């Protein structure tokens, strides 16, 4: 199956980055509108980004995840603009596969320990440079991917190591519309009123 792809193991450890205070701003881009306008691919992590990072278990052992409907609509809006959409997650669950299928996301990578390798694969497959990619992630396993893409974002409740390397920190938390907030920012530049 093409939808469940596993990429090599995580590069040896993630460098510890000095902590930032919540008021500190993310890394800047000299011409953010130019970068956002040129984006051709949008990738997202799942737990803590598309979900609230909670792990819910039912009495029978089933695992549940809560997704935000407006995040899903945002992904559909990006697709309508011709952007390729992708999910890149270390998790490997039927829930993520179902969500990806429901949203028509063509690239769903589960069990991805090296997210930069996945981005490299997508870059080659679609002939899209990293500079024309966006990624939203929330935890230390996203740091290298966030540093690789042209425009990186994180939910408001991301870990501080992520806060330091992204271009934009959302006002909303993961699973509470952060993905839609980031997508709306992209669309506002691509489709100015």
For the stretch 50-84, pLDDT in tens is 999 998 998 998 889 999 999 999 999 999 999 99
User: Which residue numbers in the chain have pLDDT < 70?
Assistant: 1-26
pLDDT (0 to 100) of residue 26: 63
Whole-angstrom distance, CA of residue 49 vs CA of residue 141: 13
Q: Specify burial of residue 164 (Cβ count, 10 A radius: 0-12, 13-18, 19+).
A: buried
Question: pLDDT value at position 14?
Answer: 32
CA 79 vs. chain centroid, Å, equals 15
Q: What is the pTM of this model?
A: 0.85
What pLDDT was estimated at residue 21? 42
Cβ count within 10 A of residue 95: 15
pLDDT at 28: 74
Cα–Cα distance for residue pair 88/185, rounded to 1 Å: 21
- Say what the pLDDT of residue 39 is: 98
Domains of the chain are: 32-190 (3.40.50.1000)
């Amino acid at each position: 199956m093409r939808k469940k792809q596993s990429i090599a193991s995580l590069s040896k450890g993630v460098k510890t980055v000095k902590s930032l205070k919540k008021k500190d701003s993310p890394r800047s881009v000299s011409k953010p509108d130019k970068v956002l306008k040129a984006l051709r691919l949008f990738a997202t992590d799942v737990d803590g980004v598309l979900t609230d990072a909670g792990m819910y278990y039912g009495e029978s052992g089933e695992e549940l995840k809560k997704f935000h409907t407006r995040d899903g609509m945002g992904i559909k809006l990006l697709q309508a603009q011709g952007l390729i959409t992708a999910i890149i997650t270390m998790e490997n669950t039927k829930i993520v596969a179902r969500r990806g299928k429901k949203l028509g996301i063509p690239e769903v990578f589960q069990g991805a320990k090296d997210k930069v390798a996945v981005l490299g694969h997508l870059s080659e497959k679609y002939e899209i440079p990293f500079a024309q990619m966006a990624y939203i992630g929330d935890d230390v396993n996203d740091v290298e991917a966030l540093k690789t893409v042209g425009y990186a974002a994180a939910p408001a409740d991301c870990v501080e190591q992520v806060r330091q390397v992204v271009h934009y920190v959302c006002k909303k938390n993961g699973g509470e519309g952060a993905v839609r907030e980031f997508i709306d920012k992209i669309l506002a530049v691509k489709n100015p009123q």
